[in-house]
């Protein structure tokens, strides 16, 4: 047939060209050494090694990427010469006659090609020597040569090539590369010619090709591809038919109405809307003065409102201002270095004065007197509870009030204290759990209790019998005597109430229905309340009605902040790299798209392509974009396109971001491809499929969904974006026309002559400049055409609010910088101009917006949220592999779903966990991690602390051949089977991926040379023979490369933030703390040396001047909307507890518009999310970026002890004991070589007399945590025996020192004689030596320091590295004196103090003479701890006291276990270890008390319950000693559990499980009431990195939801009253001891019973013999 004849002509032509090319060998050797290197490394043409062309370049200003830990010499030695493709001399320096031959041959090729083109018979073979010829890219104007790596970008001046190097593209893709307007060149090679009009007439029958080709069918196919590629190239020059792809237009995304409203406000300058800003909190009023908090600072205004001025003076967060009684001073809390402290500021102006030091302030309640403040502090509580304390405003001395705990309080005019011990930690509304705020009143200062105690108990005014809901914030006023005002949400919304001071006649005063009354302040009869974001003012008056008080109608104060709104102003992020949340790379890995604070940016990742960073999206915080990725383009005329999620419409939808150019300036357009929130509730997402048609994701409703992009612009194989009629890509002028090509011919000639003429060599920079000029000419008309069609087809009601006036239109471009605004204006002008002059193109046919939107459908349903993910596409896009939880076994299983047949198959068995499926590039293998091979960390269930199997996390790498008969690449082969291999990656696109299910589980093999370990991720690179594995352990992560065939393992880099691989698998990108590093996959595969790999990496860093503009107000609104959406989509109850969530969202939205700082957003979110009335809702919003918050003052420190002040100094009353508590630190005073004890007195700290200051300890230790501090002390009485032990110890130390020559002989002997004589005299005289009180001049008359050397330079302190000078100085100075001491006297009376005092002050008995006791004067060096560590010391000491009490009261028959939380996450939270350390030592006790009071929860409840459920069903006995139980380590005694109002979360689940399983009784108070648990998902985080918890799973039993809003009700209710608990009474613990003792008494002995008598199984041989003898005797008779 004519078709077969045409094919024969084509093949004949190929053979002709082959022979011609073979005769001209010079042409085939044109490539330089540097271009040959580029054949191996796709990154080589872009990089000078460390920024220079060769090693001799001294101007090396490039970035170096080094292996951590490698020296600079190591890296320097690994440097290699690296050249550009176009070298500066030497690369083409041969000058011979062959140059002319090259020119002639090139022109011959062009002439022959043109002739054959017009005859319609031209064809090329990718395997023939024709592939050596040089072809000029029309677009780039540069030559390309053999061996260029696939997906090279046209801007680099690469050479077109026909020959396929291993793993490279065909001629078709390379030529299309060079004519590609798309700067990213995301090519799909499998379908690139199926719609090309010139290729339709050149289809070659596979069977025919196979019969006529020497290389078989595959060679024929390659010839066909090459032929079609040449036809496509020459179609550019001729007038070939236009493409058959339909031009499709998507609608631009529209902003939600809420964002449009905010945008209108943003069009005005901030000075015009300043009166609308202001979020007012924490009011305080006195006379006509009003102070409050806004922007994290304190403001001063008039009671009637009006202008307000900032009066706070620091950048720390300041809160809770309180005006003094005279109205002249403001006390407030400010953030210090390690907590909050109290400061005072004069209202008339001045410097803030720090009142407290190390107070650990929790809150500021009121001025209780002219110079007295009430604060909340945790400083005095051994349990870490906040307590109410008085502060002397003049001295700063803090005195705790006798309440065990208090979360707020005040002092009434009668001198009584009103306080509430509890305030639930969640922000939920309508709370009814156990941690309820109840108001108490105490008037017992100096009173005697009814039971004869020295104290009286407080009275509860708002008991649970009045309301299950709480009451808090009590205040009084002397104008309305006997009345107590408070806040309560008894009716559903928090309002102001009043009652008598005895708790009677409670009456509601305000009736807010939308927003709670949050805080209020009273001065006389005037009251100011905070409601929402406003302050409201009202007047109180007495009346003869219920409650006795009426309130006037509240008016909202109009307050205008005189502020620059520094946190709300648009700002620049100075270091955006560290704000980068996502990074995506192009198909060739040369370009990157990244997200910073929700906005998309685009940049080349190699410096030779430029360093300009383009902002892709136009917003500054109003809209968030995420999950950005490059769309694989199938045609060279397509621009770069990105796919991302956007919430511009108020819900997340997919948008396409397209890069266009206008006069060489790039700009980005945006089109929406899904609608109506189709991606709602998405949790994890796949990459787009290789054919650009599909994307999968899973959502919070248990679905796996498929987004079908087939009929959208995402599918670049089928559709294109509109272009103008005269600029069709194929046809006259479509890509510049013949005249443009001819204009590049001189450049072609120059390139071909470069080998003969050294002066004619072009460098890369000049080529790029020329290429850009050609590109600008060629694309100008095309861009105008695109803009014309887009402008014409815009949806008429895209934005209802837009008008022809640019000033009133909410155009998003107005949010950009002036350059962006001008550029946008130019674009709009061009659109209008084109629209007026040209009609739409008929060839650019558009689909209706309803028809070209992507559709979303379910492919899997009924899953748990977060139980699916880790998606992977097969190379041909037919199969989607993903991981899902197998419901029957709770193991993760890999499934595969066929997009064409809708078939779903299970790949891995449900008996182990499998994850991270990854298809090989050839589509023949699937790699994944699996934990089927595991081993126990224990050999038996016997051993200390109930040893049992522990299965550490560990996985193996598996290889699964997808077709039967295939062997994995690492298979070495045998005499019957060929070795495994890695196939050409192009097979994955040419042939469909098939999965044979027969024996699929048996075909899977473990990769033998990859260790079982913990892995994060896996990436296949290059040809498919190299796999990158990111492994991790407790120290961090490490990226390694594995050769899947040879088994080589090469370390690459540690602790990379992220690892990415380009779609063509040739470039590996690491996002590290050093920057973004690009590595060649070929280099990694062929270089087994880590240093060599890193030495060749390219490091990308953004320009140092790059900044990101951020509009905080827009971002805050976006964060609010996202938080409300996320809670809606993830809350465990789809009905949201019946709450009208859209109404709630809109109710709180106006408050967001009022914000002036980000920490106010936390308050809004807490209120809004609290409407769900669920407890596990906590908001964590990051601080603002406008300035760094700097704490006022210095950090505090402590010594780990309690003190009392005496005339000599600070006497130690208690040193915290932490000896029995796991991992608890020790007190600095009990450290080695310090050994201070209760009764010792500290007289000086670093030379300063402690009694010279009020409240000296926190002031003298300020800023000295973990620094050495010198203490001068008076050691308390030591017995003669102790002195003798010290003397013996000193002799031992001196002998060691003498033998080691650590001291000079003379000095050592002198010290020995001095110390021996001193101690000997003191012992003989039977007196004590004491220090007198300090004299007025700061000196003390001190005695000789008998035995002093035992604690300083001569003996014990020899363990410290003191110098000889320090030792001498210590000997020569008297304690408390600035003069030198006298020599030791032999007169015993010289040890008397000058005033003859032999006793200490009346504050103690330390100075009493006891014949066998001695007092010593000493100096010691200690290292104070920070206040947080000291709090842990206090808690550990309190735990030891409770243990001792239980032992004492039960005669050591009951054990005690305390759990502070239920978390096992390392050294700081180790509750499983805590339980084991306390439980197993008490295993044989008759009873056990497990105390989970004040427990904040966690997740180990089931583990603890399992230990308690072990039953001893059998006993074992040994030859001697007690028996043992089986089951091992089972507790046989009686157990009770203690809970209180602060037992929360997992502690409640433990107590409820203990009750339900009937393991014992629960004693105490009703618990917190929060059991709907939460789990973190990064998808739920906010744009700034902030987060909030989402209750996502609720416990139930039968038809009842457990615990939530109720708590665990104890079997034996016992309340710890506030005053008696402060004085040491613990009724709940007492009740537990009594209950356990009672149960032990009533039950049989729980001890292991005595074993029965040993069995007698002996045989009486003697009796047998005797019987036989007797029987024999009878027989004889």
pLDDT at 844: 29
Average confidence (pLDDT) over 371-392: 93
If you write DSSP's letter for every residue of 1290-1334 in order, what string do you get? HHHHHHHHHHHTSS-HHHHHHHHHHHHHHHHHHHHHT----PPPP
pLDDT at 476: 96
CA torsion angle for 904, 909, 915, 919 (degrees, to 10)? -60
Counting residues of the chain whose pLDDT is more than 90, the rounded percentage is 46
Strand order in 591-596's β-sheet? 580-585, 591-596, 599-604, 614-615
Average confidence (pLDDT) over 508-517: 96
- Look at residue 672 and tell me whether its pLDDT is greater than 70: yes
Lowest mean pLDDT among 531-540, 850-859, 1307-1316, 1385-1394: 1385-1394
Tokens linked to 1020: 């296949």
Residue 215, by phi and psi: left (phi above 0), alpha (psi -120 to 50) or beta? alpha
Lowest mean pLDDT among 89-93, 362-366, 588-592, 731-735: 731-735
Mean pLDDT of the chain: 75
Determine contact, residues 14/124, Cβ cutoff 8 Å: yes
pLDDT tens digits along 177-200: 333 434 343 334 344 333 443 333
Average confidence (pLDDT) over 812-836: 34
Cα–Cα distances in angstroms (integers) from residue 708 to residues 673, 688, 879, in the given order: 10, 10, 14
Residues β-bridged to residue 460:
440
Distance CA 1345, CA 1238 (A): 20
**At 446, is the pLDDT very low, low, confident or very high (cuts 50, 70, 90)?**
low
**At 1191, is the pLDDT very low, low, confident or very high (cuts 50, 70, 90)?**
low
pLDDT tens digits along 799-810: 233 333 333 332
Task: Kindly tell me the sign of the dihedral angle through the C-alpha atoms of 1554, 1558, 1563, 1568.
Answer: positive
Decide which of 728 and 1285 is more confident: 1285
- Look at residue 356 and tell me whether its pLDDT is greater than 70: yes
pLDDT at 1185: 55
Lowest mean pLDDT among 361-365, 768-772, 1456-1460: 768-772
CA torsion angle for 1549, 1552, 1556, 1558 (degrees, to 10)? 110
Q: In this structure, what are the phi and psi dihedrals at residue 497, rounded to the nearest 5 degrees?
A: -130, 165
The H or E element spanning position 1478 is: helix 1471-1479
pLDDT at 623: 95
pLDDT at 1577: 85
- Look at residue 84 and tell me whether its pLDDT is greater than 70: no
pLDDT at 1232: 79
- Look at residue 934 and tell me whether its pLDDT is greater than 60: yes
pLDDT at 1284: 82
pLDDT tens digits along 617-666: 999 999 999 999 999 988 877 889 999 999 999 999 999 999 987 777 78
pLDDT at 1125: 96
Residue in the block written with tokens 């945006």: 670
If you write DSSP's letter for every residue of 660-726 in order, what string do you get? EEETTEEEEEEEE-S-SSTTTTEEEEPPPPTTSSEEEEEETTS-EEEEE-TTSTT-TTTEE----GG
Average confidence (pLDDT) over 1212-1230: 90
**Closest by alpha carbon to 443, among 1616, 1622, 1619, 1621?**
1619
Task: Kindly tell me the sign of the dihedral angle through the C-alpha atoms of 1185, 1191, 1195, 1196.
Answer: negative
Number of residues in the chain: 1677
**At 989, is the pLDDT very low, low, confident or very high (cuts 50, 70, 90)?**
confident
pLDDT at 610: 87
Distance CA 339, CA 376 (A): 12
Residue in the block written with tokens 């046209």: 154
Determine contact, residues 1426/358, Cβ cutoff 8 Å: no
Which alpha helices (H) appear in 1557-1660, and where do they start and end?
Answer: 1618-1622, 1627-1642
Distance CA 1435, CA 1458 (A): 11
- Look at residue 4 and tell me whether its pLDDT is greater than 50: yes
Decide which of 336 and 458 is more confident: 458
Lowest mean pLDDT among 412-416, 1415-1419, 1492-1496, 1516-1520: 1415-1419
pLDDT at 1143: 97
Distance CA 254, CA 809 (A): 13
- Look at residue 1338 and tell me whether its pLDDT is greater than 70: no
pLDDT at 199: 38
pLDDT at 448: 60
- Look at residue 874 and tell me whether its pLDDT is greater than 60: yes
Residues β-bridged to residue 661:
666
Cα–Cα distances in angstroms (integers) from residue 1529 to residues 941, 943, 1484, 1507, in the given order: 10, 9, 9, 8
pLDDT tens digits along 1565-1599: 999 999 999 877 888 999 999 999 999 999 999 99
pLDDT at 839: 34
- Look at residue 1401 and tell me whether its pLDDT is greater than 80: no
pLDDT tens digits along 460-469: 999 999 999 9
Hey, how many other C-beta atoms are within 10 angstroms of the C-beta on 1602? 18
Average confidence (pLDDT) over 1112-1125: 95
Determine contact, residues 231/830, Cβ cutoff 8 Å: no
Tokens linked to 1250: 């402690």
pLDDT at 259: 79
pLDDT tens digits along 1147-1179: 999 999 999 999 899 999 999 999 999 999 999
Beta strands per DSSP E along 337-395:
339-346, 353-354, 361-369, 372-377, 387-392
- Look at residue 230 and tell me whether its pLDDT is greater than 60: no
Distance CA 1514, CA 1519 (A): 17
Residue in the block written with tokens 């007012």: 280
Distance CA 326, CA 972 (A): 92
- Look at residue 1007 and tell me whether its pLDDT is greater than 90: yes
pLDDT at 1481: 92
Tokens linked to 1084: 């990694």
Long-range (24+ apart) CB contacts under 8 A made by 1320-1325 are: 1321/1346, 1321/1386, 1321/1388, 1321/1391, 1322/1283, 1322/1346, 1322/1347, 1322/1391, 1322/1414, 1323/1280, 1323/1283, 1323/1414, 1324/1388, 1325/1388, 1325/1391
Decide which of 786 and 1506 is more confident: 1506
Distance CA 211, CA 222 (A): 14
Decide which of 674 and 1527 is more confident: 674
Distance CA 918, CA 901 (A): 21
Average confidence (pLDDT) over 52-80: 39
Distance CA 923, CA 284 (A): 71
pLDDT tens digits along 1610-1660: 999 999 999 999 999 999 999 999 999 999 999 877 788 888 988 999 998
pLDDT tens digits along 944-974: 777 777 777 789 999 999 999 899 999 888 8
pLDDT tens digits along 1040-1090: 999 999 899 999 999 999 999 999 999 999 999 889 999 999 999 998 899
Q: What is the 3-state secondary structure (H, E, C) of 731-784?
A: CCCCCCHHHHHHHCHHHHHHHHCCCCCHHHCCCHHHHHHHHHHHHHHHHHHHHH
pTM, two decimal places: 0.76
Specify burial of residue 1 (Cβ count, 10 A radius: 0-12, 13-18, 19+): exposed
Residue in the block written with tokens 């509870």: 385
Lowest mean pLDDT among 350-359, 510-519, 597-606: 350-359
Distance CA 1554, CA 1537 (A): 8
HSE, side-chain direction, 13 A CA sphere, residue 958: 27
Average confidence (pLDDT) over 534-562: 93
Distance CA 825, CA 177 (A): 33
Tokens linked to 32: 């330089």
Counting residues of the chain whose pLDDT is more than 70, the rounded percentage is 68
Residues β-bridged to residue 1414:
1278
Average confidence (pLDDT) over 368-385: 93
């Amino acid at each position: 047939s004519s078709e077969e004849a045409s094919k024969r002509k084509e093949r004949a032509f190929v053979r002709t060209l082959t022979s011609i090319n073979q005769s001209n060998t010079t042409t085939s050797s044109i490539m330089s050494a540097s271009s040959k290197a580029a054949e191996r490394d796709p990154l080589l043409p872009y990089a000078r090694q460390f920024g220079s062309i060769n090693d001799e370049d001294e101007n090396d200003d490039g970035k170096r990427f080094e292996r951590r830990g490698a020296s600079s010499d190591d890296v320097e030695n690994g440097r290699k010469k690296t050249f550009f493709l176009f070298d500066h001399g030497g690369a083409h320096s041969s000058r011979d006659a062959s140059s002319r031959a090259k020119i002639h041959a090139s022109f011959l090729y062009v002439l022959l090609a043109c002739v054959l083109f017009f005859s319609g018979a031209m064809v090329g073979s990718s395997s023939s020597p024709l592939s050596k010829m040089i072809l000029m890219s029309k677009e780039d104007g540069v030559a390309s040569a053999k061996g260029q790596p696939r997906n090279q970008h046209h801007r680099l001046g690469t050479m077109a090539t026909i020959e396929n190097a291993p793993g490279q593209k065909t001629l078709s893709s390379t030529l299309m590369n060079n004519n590609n307007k798309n700067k990213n060149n995301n090519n799909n090679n499998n379908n690139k010619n199926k719609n090309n009009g010139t290729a339709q007439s050149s289809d070659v029958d596979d069977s025919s090709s196979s019969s006529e080709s020497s290389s078989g069918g595959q060679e024929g196919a390659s010839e066909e591809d090459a032929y079609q590629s040449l036809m496509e190239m020459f179609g550019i020059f001729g007038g070939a038919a236009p493409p058959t792809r339909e031009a499709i237009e998507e609608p631009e995304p529209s902003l939600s109405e809420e964002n449009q409203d905010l945008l209108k406000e943003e069009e005005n300058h901030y000075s015009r809307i300043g009166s609308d800003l202001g979020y007012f909190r924490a009011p305080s009023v006195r006379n006509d003065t009003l102070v409050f908090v806004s922007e994290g600072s304190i403001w001063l205004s008039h009671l009637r409102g009006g202008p307000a001025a900032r009066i706070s003076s620091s950048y720390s967060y300041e809160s809770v201002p309180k005006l003094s009684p005279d109205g002249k001073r403001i006390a407030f809390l400010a953030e210090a270095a390690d907590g909050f402290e109290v400061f005072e500021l004069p209202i008339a102006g001045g410097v803030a004065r720090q009142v407290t030091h190390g107070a650990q302030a929790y809150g500021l309640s009121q001025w209780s007197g002219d110079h007295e403040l009430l604060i909340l502090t945790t400083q005095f509580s051994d349990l870490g509870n906040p307590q109410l304390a008085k502060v002397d405003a003049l001295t700063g001395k803090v005195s705790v009030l006798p309440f065990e705990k208090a979360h707020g309080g005040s002092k009434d005019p009668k001198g009584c204290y009103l306080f509430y011990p509890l305030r639930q930690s969640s922000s939920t509304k309508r709370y009814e759990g156990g941690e309820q705020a109840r108001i108490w009143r105490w008037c017992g200062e100096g009173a005697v209790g009814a039971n004869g105690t020295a104290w009286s108990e407080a009275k509860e005014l708002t008991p649970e019998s009045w309301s299950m809901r709480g009451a808090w914030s009590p205040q009084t006023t002397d104008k309305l005597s006997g009345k107590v005002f408070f806040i309560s949400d008894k009716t559903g919304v928090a309002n102001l109430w009043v009652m008598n001071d005895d708790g009677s006649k409670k009456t509601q005063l305000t009736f807010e229905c939308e927003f709670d009354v949050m805080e209020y302040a009273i001065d006389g009869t005037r009251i100011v309340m905070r409601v929402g974001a406003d302050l409201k003012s009202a007047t109180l008056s007495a009346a003869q009605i219920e409650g006795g008080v009426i309130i006037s109608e509240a008016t909202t104060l109009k307050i205008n902040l005189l502020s620059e709104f520094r946190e709300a102003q648009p700002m620049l992020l100075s270091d955006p790299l560290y704000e980068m949340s996502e990074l995506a790379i192009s198909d060739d890995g040369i370009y990157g798209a990244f997200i910073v604070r929700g906005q998309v940016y685009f940049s080349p990742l190699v410096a030779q392509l430029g360093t300009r960073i383009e902002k892709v999206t136009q917003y500054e915080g109003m809209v968030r974009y995420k999950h950005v990725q490059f769309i694989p383009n199938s045609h060279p005329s397509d621009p770069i396109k990105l796919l991302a999620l956007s919430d511009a419409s108020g819900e997340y939808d997919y948008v396409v971001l397209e890069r266009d150019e206008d006069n060489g300036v790039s700009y980005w357009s945006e089109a929406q491809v899904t609608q109506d929130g189709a991606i709602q509730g998405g949790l994890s997402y796949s990459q787009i499929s290789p054919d650009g048609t599909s994307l999968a994701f899973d959502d919070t409703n248990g679905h796996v969904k498929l987004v079908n992009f087939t009929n959208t612009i995402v599918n670049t194989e089928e559709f294109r974006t509109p272009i103008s009629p005269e600029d069709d890509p194929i046809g006259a002028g479509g890509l510049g026309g013949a005249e443009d090509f001819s204009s590049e011919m001189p450049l072609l000639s120059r390139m071909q002559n470069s080998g003969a003429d050294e002066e004619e060599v072009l460098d890369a920079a000049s080529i790029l400049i020329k290429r850009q000029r050609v590109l600008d000419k060629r694309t100008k008309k095309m861009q105008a055409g695109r803009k014309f069609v887009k402008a014409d087809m815009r949806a008429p009601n895209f934005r209802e609010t837009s008008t022809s006036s640019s000033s009133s239109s909410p155009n998003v471009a107005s949010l950009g910088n002036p350059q962006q605004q001008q550029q946008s204006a130019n674009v709009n002008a061009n659109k209008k101009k084109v629209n007026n002059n040209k009609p739409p193109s008929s060839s650019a046919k558009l689909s209706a917006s309803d028809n070209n939107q992507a559709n979303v459908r379910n492919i899997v349903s009924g899953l748990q949220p977060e139980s699916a993910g880790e998606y992977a596409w097969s190379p041909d896009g037919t199969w989607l592999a993903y991981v899902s939880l197998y419901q029957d076994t709770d193991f993760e299983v890999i499934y595969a779903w066929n997009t064409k047949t809708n078939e779903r198959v299970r790949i891995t068995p449900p008996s182990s966990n499998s994850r991270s499926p990854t298809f090989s590039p050839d589509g023949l293998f699937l790699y994944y991690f699996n934990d089927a091979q595991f081993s126990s960390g224990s050999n038996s269930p016997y051993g200390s602390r109930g040893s049992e199997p522990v299965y550490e996390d560990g996985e193996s790498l598996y290889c699964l051949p997808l077709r039967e008969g295939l062997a994995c690449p690492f298979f070495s082969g045998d005499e019957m089977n060929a070795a495994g291999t890695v196939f050409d990656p192009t097979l994955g696109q040419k042939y469909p991926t098939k999965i044979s299910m027969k024996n699929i589980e048996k075909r899977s093999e473990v990769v033998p040379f990859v260790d079982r370990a913990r892995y994060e991720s896996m990436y296949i690179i290059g040809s498919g023979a190299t796999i990158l594995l990111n492994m991790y352990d407790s120290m961090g992560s490490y990226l390694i490369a594995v050769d899947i065939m040879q088994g080589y393992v090469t370390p690459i880099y540690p602790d990379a933030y992220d690892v990415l691989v380009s779609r063509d698998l040739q470039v590996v990108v690491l996002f590290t703390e050093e920057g973004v590093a690009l590595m060649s996959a070929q280099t990694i595969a062929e270089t087994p040396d880590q240093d060599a790999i890193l030495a060749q990496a390219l490091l990308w860093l953004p320009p140092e001047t790059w900044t990101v503009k951020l509009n905080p107000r827009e971002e805050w609104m976006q964060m609010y909307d996202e938080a409300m959406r996320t809670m809606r989509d993830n809350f465990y109850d789809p009905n949201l507890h019946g709450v009208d969530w859209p109404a709630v969202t809109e109710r709180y939205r106006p408050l967001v518009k009022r914000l002036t700082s980000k920490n106010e957003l936390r308050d809004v979110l807490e209120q809004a999310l609290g409407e769900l009335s669920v407890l596990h809702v906590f908001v964590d919003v990051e601080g603002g970026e406008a300035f760094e918050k700097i704490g006022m003052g210095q950090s505090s420190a402590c010594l780990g002890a309690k003190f009392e002040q005496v005339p000599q100094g600070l006497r130690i009353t208690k040193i915290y004991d932490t000896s029995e508590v796991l991992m608890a630190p020790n007190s600095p005073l009990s450290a080695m070589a310090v050994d201070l004890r209760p009764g010792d007195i500290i007289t000086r700290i670093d030379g300063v007399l402690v009694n010279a200051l009020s409240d000296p300890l926190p002031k003298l230790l300020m800023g000295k945590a973990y620094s050495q501090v010198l203490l001068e002390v008076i050691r308390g009485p030591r017995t003669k025996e102790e002195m003798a032990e010290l003397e013996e110890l000193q002799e031992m130390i001196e002998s060691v020192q003498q033998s080691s020559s650590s001291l000079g002989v003379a000095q050592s002997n002198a010290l020995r004689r001095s110390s021996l004589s001193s101690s000997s005299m003191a012992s003989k005289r039977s007196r004590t030596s004491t220090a007198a009180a300090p004299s007025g001049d700061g000196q003390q008359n001190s005695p000789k320091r008998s035995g002093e050397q035992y604690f300083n330079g001569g003996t014990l302190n020899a363990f410290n590295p003191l110098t000889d000078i320090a030792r001498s100085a210590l000997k020569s100075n008297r304690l408390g004196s600035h003069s030198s001491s006298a020599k030791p006297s032999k007169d015993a009376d010289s040890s008397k103090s000058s005033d003859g005092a032999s006793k200490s002050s009346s504050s103690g008995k330390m100075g009493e003479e006891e014949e066998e006791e001695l007092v010593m004067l000493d100096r010691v060096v200690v290292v104070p701890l920070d206040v947080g560590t000291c709090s842990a010391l206090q808690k550990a000491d309190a735990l030891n006291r409770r243990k001792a009490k239980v032992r004492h009261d039960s005669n050591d028959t009951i054990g005690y276990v305390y759990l502070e939380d239920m978390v096992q996450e390392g050294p700081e939270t180790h509750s499983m270890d805590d339980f084991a350390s306390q439980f197993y030592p008490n295993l044989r006790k008759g009873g056990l008390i497990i105390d989970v009071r004040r427990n904040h929860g966690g997740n180990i409840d089931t583990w603890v319950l399992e230990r308690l459920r072990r039953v001893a069903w059998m006993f074992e006995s040994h030859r001697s000693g007690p028996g043992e139980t089986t089951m091992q380590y089972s507790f046989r005694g009686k157990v009770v559990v203690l809970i209180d109002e602060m037992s929360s979360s997992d502690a409640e689940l433990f107590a409820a499980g203990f009750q339900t399983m009937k393991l014992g009784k629960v004693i105490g108070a009703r618990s917190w009431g929060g059991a709907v648990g939460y789990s973190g998902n990064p998808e739920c985080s906010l744009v700034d990195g902030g987060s909030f918890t989402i209750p996502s799973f609720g416990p139930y039993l039968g038809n009842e939801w457990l615990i939530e809003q109720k708590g665990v009700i104890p079997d034996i209710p016992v309340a710890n009253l506030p005053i008696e608990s402060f004085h040491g009474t613990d009724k709940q613990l007492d009740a537990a001891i009594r209950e356990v003792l009672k149960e032990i008494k009533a039950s049989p002995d729980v001890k292991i019973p005595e074993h029965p008598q040993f069995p007698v199984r002996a045989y009486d041989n003697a009796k047998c013999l005797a019987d036989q003898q007797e029987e024999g005797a009878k027989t004889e008779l």
